Structure 1
């Protein structure tokens, strides 16, 4: 009998996917960029855009129940095989990079207590992370249902320190300090409001990644309607936590003090308010949270690669399962890629920021395809024989979601667009492999060729940029 996940477990997958490294880094990330006023506007933009995207996921789950492969299935259905592959590959490799950011944060957290870990990029730190990668790998090989249960337990455990942080800072709320910081505070570089908001954009995308967690496991859902419900419930709960974690530190410390903290900055904020035990308490929460998120995203990575292979978009090898119904080959490739990226952090100037921004940039392209597909369905009135009155509403929602995701890509800057191309172009080798296995033409349309040529040009531009120092990692 197929393994099935309840509404509670699916909601746990959404929360577990979203609450990871990002939320613990929010105070410093926003402190460097802006004050409370800019933060409120940034969260309104990010929250509004991501809510619209969540509604698109909810609508598509109900109107296209046959598309149960998650994010990339919508790109393939709406725009063809190669865009579908790019969506699957981008989502998969972005998720792998996100997993690397989790290990970087764990290593830097331990570095606050054990100098041998440094900022998370020492040889000892990399060896520690490598052991962790493969311990999780072999646990997941024992079964998806077991891993999902562990994720649900860890999700509950990791939310506790976040809620405790929020409650404690409410008790220490200083209104005069919040007012001082409100318009940007003192002692920080001058920047326009637009520049302040733009500086937070990729960070907000990063902390919202995982909103589609239930969609990725749609084939395991007990009821199709649970997918949309779990998505909205998880989004609302996690959004409230992230906004409070961002704003409350401004009522406890000056903005320069927040901006100067090392990551995870939530630990530094609590230590400044209640003493050293606060840093220990949050650091434990960070490790539990990040390990839980890593587990959830390891499942997601393997699932995306597996389903893409089963729908002829990736080589057949990655569509195989072991005796525990786990996509073993997909999991092996995922963790080999994660391992290579973890090793590369040894040469990175700011590994966490790089992985955070690159993950966001890679994930935005699949998100944009989802929003565009939702818009296409509503515009054509496809599937709207049922509940036709919802068409205008869904058209507006999908339009906003598409504009938001495109704006986020632009706001991230040319650097991350080029670095994304550096991964997309060589990644197309997997597409060539899959098409050759099945005896199909590589590209069916001139648009496919144009997309591929753009990726190749961007890839060469990135190589030149890195070699000349124009781009830095």
Structure 2
């Protein structure tokens, strides 16, 4: 055990890097495809307020319950029982795995600009066998790096985060110079989409949530922080910084070229926009930024993906083998489980040719319940303590979580149950392993039965 801890700078970089991943470079096209300027502004306003409630909730929880390392999982378990805690950990872990796969897909999709031509596809949309091979090599390089210790990986991530900000700042500066308000305000309500503004707003929700997934980064690795007070500071600073970047990127984009043109752009669409503004070298700059961005975000997400099952295994919710550490203090059992899962997903991507948008929807859906439980837990303990300011924050974060579930739609929510169902087999096996201090209550059994039954029913209905 090295005993090395993560400082406030590395914690901030971990949160910022996990949010500013590959998604920001595809954000102009993703948003233009589903909303006009009016819905975009409303969508970001709702998300900005909601995500600040969520970040502030995590700040309060890190101070009110500094004994709960791991955040997302331990808040759910301590507040609502072992079964709910496991579901939160499993959903979050799956989100992290799928997020990592999506990062690898988008980086090789970007590289296809240099390798592909009509009739000659090498990397395609990041879902060819060549892409899978390249992504697999990158996957195991990162794996080897993290086995040297989480603190070492976090320090390298700090450098990657600073590097990725360069192309983003360049895009924003050039975008301000080329911004045309008449272009931005043309068809302000998005009437060409033939959807009411409110429906457009709902469709932006999973996209805006997707680019903020990672807000919990400092909370997840709280057990490795030098100072628990740094957790809340790192989270809020990173969220505000990311929100400013996202607002500028999307608003400026709609003021550069027509929305319908932007909506059909190949991702990463930020590259096409920069080419339109400064010429062919623009795409080179964005691809370089994506490589740095994905490297940093992938590193951050692998750390977080390995940390949650590791903490859950130490508390009896995952099998004992997942709690193993190596001499560098890295969660080696959880790391192997995570990266083998990513490798299997990459193989499936190559066979079924899933694209980035599909992965975005699945990953965003899996994190909705864990985020809702954060707000509910703060509201619960604040009410018990009669502490009313944190209670208001908890209620605000809870309402945002409920809104996200509504906006995502019943179909997507039910789809996520099929992914929760197999995880419960892992949970039951872990319960058997830790049976000397682990018992399921009746309500736990009802929850398990309901999710497994729903998952099986949904799967059979799609056959």
| TM value normalised by structure 1 | 0.94
Residue 380 of structure 2 is aligned to residue 379 of structure 1: no
Cα gap change, 1:51/1:348 in structure 2, threshold over 3 Å: closer, same or farther?
Answer: farther
Q: Distance in 2 between matches of 1:456 and 1:81?
A: 17
Residue 433 of structure 2 is aligned to residue 427 of structure 1: no
Decide whether the 8 Å contact of 2:127 with 2:354 is kept in 1: no
Residue 85 of structure 2 is aligned to residue 84 of structure 1: yes
Secondary structure class of the residue paired with 2:317: coil
Cα gap change, 1:408/1:355 in structure 2, threshold over 3 Å: closer, same or farther?
Answer: same
Q: Deviations over 1:132-166 (max 9, x none)?
A: 11111111111212111110000000011111100
- Name the structure 1 match of 2:115: 114
Q: Distance in 1 between matches of 2:71 and 2:438?
A: 23
Decide whether the 8 Å contact of 2:125 with 2:355 is kept in 1: no
Secondary structure class of the residue paired with 2:211: helix
Q: Distance in 2 between matches of 1:105 and 1:51?
A: 28
- Name the structure 2 match of 1:155: 161
Given candidates 246, 249, 261, the residue that maps to 2:250 is: 246
- Name the structure 2 match of 1:24: 25
Residue 457 of structure 2 is aligned to residue 461 of structure 1: yes
Secondary structure class of the residue paired with 1:261: coil
Decide whether the 8 Å contact of 2:189 with 2:197 is kept in 1: no
Cα gap change, 1:271/1:350 in structure 2, threshold over 3 Å: closer, same or farther?
Answer: farther
Secondary structure class of the residue paired with 2:173: helix
Cα gap change, 1:441/1:214 in structure 2, threshold over 3 Å: closer, same or farther?
Answer: closer
Given candidates 295, 298, 306, the residue that maps to 2:299 is: 295
Given candidates 211, 225, 237, the residue that maps to 1:233 is: 237
Provide structure 2 residue ranges, at least 5 long, that are not aligned to the other structure. 117-121
Given candidates 371, 390, 393, the residue that maps to 2:389 is: 393
Q: Deviations over 1:365-393 (max 9, x none)?
A: 11111110001011212xx6xxxxxx222
Q: Deviations over 1:185-218 (max 9, x none)?
A: 6xx3311011101111111111111111111111
Q: Deviations over 1:17-40 (max 9, x none)?
A: 111021111101110111221111
Q: Distance in 2 between matches of 1:373 and 1:331?
A: 28
Decide whether the 8 Å contact of 1:21 with 1:102 is kept in 2: yes
Decide whether the 8 Å contact of 2:431 with 2:439 is kept in 1: no
Given candidates 179, 188, 200, the residue that maps to 1:196 is: 200
How far off its partner does 1:44 sit? 0.7
Superposed counterparts of 1:123-138, under 5 Å: 123-138=129-144
Q: Distance in 2 between matches of 1:68 and 1:287?
A: 31
Superposed counterparts of 1:200-219, under 5 Å: 200-219=204-223
Q: Distance in 2 between matches of 1:164 and 1:344?
A: 36
- Name the structure 2 match of 1:407: 403
Secondary structure class of the residue paired with 1:404: helix
Q: Distance in 1 between matches of 2:193 and 2:351?
A: 28
Secondary structure class of the residue paired with 1:113: helix
- Name the structure 1 match of 2:119: none
- Name the structure 2 match of 1:470: none
Q: Distance in 1 between matches of 2:409 and 2:282?
A: 36
Decide whether the 8 Å contact of 2:209 with 2:364 is kept in 1: yes
- Stretches (4+) displaced over 3 A: 347-350, 440-443
Q: Deviations over 1:420-468 (max 9, x none)?
A: 111111111111111111125876333222321221133123312442x
Cα gap change, 1:392/1:57 in structure 2, threshold over 3 Å: closer, same or farther?
Answer: same
Provide structure 1 residue ranges, at least 5 long, that are not aligned to the other structure. 385-390, 468-473
Superposed counterparts of 1:280-291, under 5 Å: 280-291=284-295
How far off its partner does 1:283 sit? 1.3
Alpha-carbon RMSD: 1.5
Decide whether the 8 Å contact of 1:65 with 1:224 is kept in 2: yes
Given candidates 296, 307, 311, the residue that maps to 1:307 is: 311
Secondary structure class of the residue paired with 1:194: helix
Decide whether the 8 Å contact of 2:176 with 2:252 is kept in 1: yes
Higher mean C-alpha deviation, range 293-302 or range 433-442: 433-442
- Name the structure 2 match of 1:50: 51
Aligned residues between the structures: 457
Secondary structure class of the residue paired with 2:367: helix
Q: Distance in 2 between matches of 1:340 and 1:2?
A: 33
